Each structure stands twice: as structure tokens, then as C-alpha cells.
Amino acid sequence: YGDFNQKIDYVFKIVLIGDSAVGKSQLLARFARNEFNLESKATIGVEFQTKTLAIDNKTVKAQIWDTAGQERYRAVTSAYYRGAVGAMLVYDMTKRQSFDHMARWLEELRGHADKNIVIMLIGNKCDLGTLRAVPTEDAQEFAERENLYFMETSALEKTNVESAFMTILTEIYQIIN
């Protein structure tokens, strides 16, 4: 079990949630395989991807789950959240509505997930700066109020993608150690 037959010390399940088309699948593709696709279609079938990495000399397997086209409100099943130790709440910074929906995604998440889950708010598509519809301060304020980590990313330009996943994984690691 495990990439290259390594000994795996930890498996951390992380779930991606947020409206359709905000870039969840591309963030995952960028992090897990360093790939990006501008014509990405709605995710069908694929449940999760893994990436094995080192934290504090331990081998951690990140198992990252992507909503398989279940982005409508209340369509994500409780099986999706089961066992998750981290969650990324993703909005598209050029689509105000996707940010306004974060409150209800968070409510859904808190209703289903473990109470100690580490949550990160992600404003994706920061490469489209001129089309920005969500000021950084609005997101920061929401994140502080709700006790979430926050980062702006671009799956296209690789900005902060590695950093966002490493931050959440390291935080999870610290909580259990």
C-alpha cells in the first residue's frame, strides 16, 4: 500500500467543496499531478486523488476528495464528509455569488463533519485580477469571524496552490501530534 512502497505514517482525508466551476478540480489536478486544463468538464466518477509527502520526517498521504458534480446545495452526501480531517471551501474571486454561498457551504460542512476539522477558505482564480468581484478584505473578515485559514490561489498560474495544501496538512498534523 502506498506510492513506491513507502511506509505511510498518516492518511489525511481532505474534502473540496464550493459551487460548480470555481476551480476545485483544477486545484486538485495542480496539486496532485501538476496539471491544469482550461476546458475542464464537470467531474464525473473520480472520487479522490492522493499525494504522498513528508511533514516533520513523517510520510503523509493526502487523500483529497472532489465533489463529483454534486455541487448543488444539500446534494453532497454525508459519506463525502465522513472521516475528513480537513476541508477547502473554494470560491471564484471573479464570481461574487460563489463567495456569498460560502456561508451555506460552511453550514453544510459543520453539520456533517467532525467538529475538529481544519477548514481553509480559498479564493481561486487570482490570475484574473482585473475581474475581481470579491475584495481580499471581505474574505479575510469572513475567515476571521468563522475561524478559517484563508488564501487566494490560482490553479492556472500555480499561485499558492502548494502552499494552501501544505498549510492545511501541516495544521492537521500538528493537531494530532
Q: Which residues would be at the binding site for ligand GDP (CB under 6 A)?
A: 20-26, 37-38, 40, 43, 124-125, 127-128, 154-156
- CB-based contacts of 153: which residues, under 8 Å, 6+ apart? 27, 122, 123, 124, 126, 159, 160, 161, 164
The C-alpha atoms of residue 145 and residue 46 are separated, in whole angstroms, by: 33
By three-state DSSP, how is residue 165 classified? helix
Site for Mg ion in 39-78 (CB under 5 A): 43
Minimum CB distance to Mg ion smaller for 25 or for 153: 25
> Which residue number places its CB atom closest to Mg ion?
25
Torsion angle defined by CA atoms of residues 40, 86, 77 and 100, in that order, rounded to the nearest 10 degrees: -70
* Nearest alpha carbon to residue 26 among 38, 8, 12: 38
- Min. distance of Cβ 64 from ligand GDP in angstroms? 12
Contact yes or no for 19/98 (Cβ under 8 A): yes
Q: Of the two residues 43 and 153, which places its CB atom closer to Mg ion in the complex?
A: 43
25 near Mg ion, judged by CB under 5 A? yes
Closest CB 174 distance from ligand GDP, rounded Å: 28
Short-list 157, 159, 97, 87, CA closest to 119: 87
Q: Work out how close the CB of 1 gets to ligand GDP at its nearest, in angstroms, rounded to a whole number.
A: 28
- What's the rounded Cα separation, in Å, for the pair 4 and 88? 28
Please count the residues of this chain forming the interface with Mg ion, following the rule CB under 5 A.
3
Q: How far apart are CA 147 and CA 19, in angstroms?
A: 21
| Least distance CB 165 / ligand GDP (angstroms) | 14
Stretch that binds Mg ion, among 37-45, 86-94, 120-128, 136-144 (CB under 5 A): 37-45
CB of 117 vs ligand GDP, minimal distance in Å: 20
| Binding partner of 44, given Mg ion, ligand GDP, none, CB within 5-8 angstroms per partner class | none
* Binding region for Mg ion (CB under 5 A): 24-25, 43
